[in-house]
């Protein structure tokens, strides 16, 4: 096994693997905001956003940066000609963690060599979104 070329490579791969967890957290956050009364008092006529502000503070900073970098890479990949196949590869290797790159390549209808190249491009795109590459 070769050494990673960049020091941040493993960190970015971890961020990609953690993306579904962050999606679920953000979904729960939106559900809580939808259920919470945003007007403060039961019969208040003036709206107060303190509940919303307190909830969104929990998903800011580094967590948000990681989430947005992966989300941006997914959107860029989706716009590519073979974007759906690449996302199948990413899903099986990173999010479900059920396949190796070679096995996922077979499911995604691409050669192993192409799969490794697409895998690398996706990780680099996330790294670019996090500011590691210019």
pLDDT at site 23: 87
3-state secondary structure of 93: helix
Chain centroid to CA 15:
7
41-79 CB burial, b ≥16 within 10 A, e <16: eeeeeeeeeeeeeeeeeeeeeeeeebbebbbebbebbee
Identify which of 112, 115, 134, 109 has the alpha carbon closest to the alpha carbon of residue 124. 134
pTM of the predicted structure, to 2 decimals:
0.78
Residues 6, 127: contact at Cβ < 8 Å? yes
Please give the chain's pLDDT, 134 residues, in tens: 676 678 999 999 999 999 999 888 877 766 655 555 545 555 555 445 555 555 555 667 888 899 999 999 999 999 999 999 999 999 999 999 999 999 999 999 999 999 999 999 999 999 999 999 87
């Amino acid at each position: 096994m070769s050494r990673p070329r960049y020091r941040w490579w493993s960190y970015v791969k971890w961020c990609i693997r953690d993306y579904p967890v962050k999606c679920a957290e953000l979904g729960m956050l939106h559900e809580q905001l939808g259920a919470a009364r945003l007007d403060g008092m039961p019969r208040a006529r003036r709206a107060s956003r303190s509940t919303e502000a307190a909830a969104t503070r929990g998903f800011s900073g580094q967590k948000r940066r990681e989430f947005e970098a992966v989300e941006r890479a997914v959107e860029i990949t989706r716009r590519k000609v073979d974007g759906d196949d690449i996302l199948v590869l990413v899903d099986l290797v990173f999010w479900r963690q059920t396949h190796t790159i070679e096995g996922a390549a077979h499911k995604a209808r691409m050669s192993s060599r192409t799969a490794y190249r697409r895998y690398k491009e996706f990780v680099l795109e996330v790294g670019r979104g996090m500011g590691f590459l210019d």
